[in-house]
Structure 1
């Protein structure tokens, strides 16, 4: 009888150990599944990595999401501002035939702060996608107020053109990780198509630029020319998020982002508003 009880106790002890070990193994597997799920979720939420850019804007290595070459920033600003403020009254040619006979730019209506609406050129509207979304809407309203209605006139004697001539772009100064300040000295030249009279307005601005994410066009083969142009603007992975007047006597060593900073002495450019 004693031996029988000892055998039963040994059998029960082995089963208990086996049950505990099995339960522990299940707990471990469950923990690993949860850990794997969290890792997958983090990967799904991770931003698309940016690449270090060469002077021509080509990506070469995934080193720092916020790194940009100074010349890439300067090229981005030059291209964006020239497109924004050069108005010819015609659309950019898409075919050889349109080079000799360009299509008229009908313009795009933009609401103004006064409650009305005015036209901006199609090139300005496309270039505006290089601006941050929170700045773009208000800036477009300002550009609409600046754009003369004569730009879209079909009467040759009344039609006007505008061109931004950049005289100097200061080297980008980093003000925070992934943010830069760039000074631009330029002239905005408005010219009558007939007669050639022109009005030159100083256009000297401080531009604040930051690194931005970019997602490629998922339907590139089915996109219109306008959609392709918009995606190409964002491909530089940069955006302008603020523009201020530039003090021409500023030594450009003050990197303060304080919006209240004013140029007390020295000449400043005129306001955006005409």
Structure 2
């Protein structure tokens, strides 16, 4: 009698275990269905079209992959960067925020004889590091040193900026047709053609919110690369 009772108890325990297992599997299946439903709703939910900035300003937004940039952003970055690099006035905004300007003393490069303007130096952080060094030396040779004496000004005048051509993942080519207008004393302005092929690539936009220093270099780098792009080559347009 004791043996029969022992077998009956083992059979009952096995049955209870099977019932509990089925119940747990059913619970897991229910959770999986709920998760699938949530993921499906998120996948079909339209992306936000507006983003509010910290200062309260609202701007339009569009979903892009990590290494994708819109054609408008690429064209604006190319135009703004080249304009700042190639326009030399010899003046800087006044630190007190007034409309007055102060003389630009320029930046003396150790590897070049001439100086470059301060805005051009700050904007040069939008170039890739290996290309930046070579470009700054060439820029110092091109910059008339009379700019810093207030007798010469050079302005880049864009005439046409073509839509970017994608050449690889996260890389584009932009053709720009422009002129360099050179103004000196008693001169109506000489025009020098500036037709280039600009090669850009996507990079991670830096953020230095928690970086505290009296040196504003980090801020200048962040501003120059805020679009998540950098220029790695500039070539003469041969066509």
> TM-score higher than 0.5 here?
yes
Q: How does 1:28-43 map to 2 (within 5 A)?
A: none
How many matched pairs?
Answer: 183
Q: CA deviation at 1:138?
A: 0.2
Q: CA deviation at 1:124?
A: 0.6
Instruction: Report the structure, 1 or 2, having the larger strand content.
Output: 2
Q: CA deviation at 1:60?
A: 4.0
2:72 is equivalent to residue 89 of structure 1: no
- Give the whole-Å Cα distance in 2 for the aligned partners of 1:60 and 1:161: 38
- Give the whole-Å Cα distance in 2 for the aligned partners of 1:181 and 1:223: 37
Name the SS for the 2:78 alignment partner. helix
| Per-residue Cα deviation, 1:164-194 (whole angstroms, up to 9, x for no partner) | 00000010000001000000000011101x3
Q: CA deviation at 1:121?
A: 0.1
Q: CA deviation at 1:231?
A: 1.5
2:66 is equivalent to residue 74 of structure 1: no
- Give the whole-Å Cα distance in 2 for the aligned partners of 1:178 and 1:59: 22
* Structure 1 gap ranges (5+): 1-52, 249-274
TM-score, structure 1 as length reference: 0.61
Q: How does 1:56-75 map to 2 (within 5 A)?
A: 60=61, 63-75=64-76
Q: How does 1:1-274 map to 2 (within 5 A)?
A: 60=61, 63-97=64-98, 99-100=99-100, 102-112=101-111, 116-153=112-149, 159-192=151-184, 194-219=185-210, 227-248=218-239
CA RMSD of aligned residues (A): 2.4
Name the SS for the 2:93 alignment partner. coil
Q: CA deviation at 1:123?
A: 0.6
- CA spacing shift, 1:93–1:169, aligned 2, 3 Å: farther
TM-score, structure 2 as length reference: 0.70
Q: CA deviation at 1:91?
A: 1.1
- CA spacing shift, 1:213–1:122, aligned 2, 3 Å: same
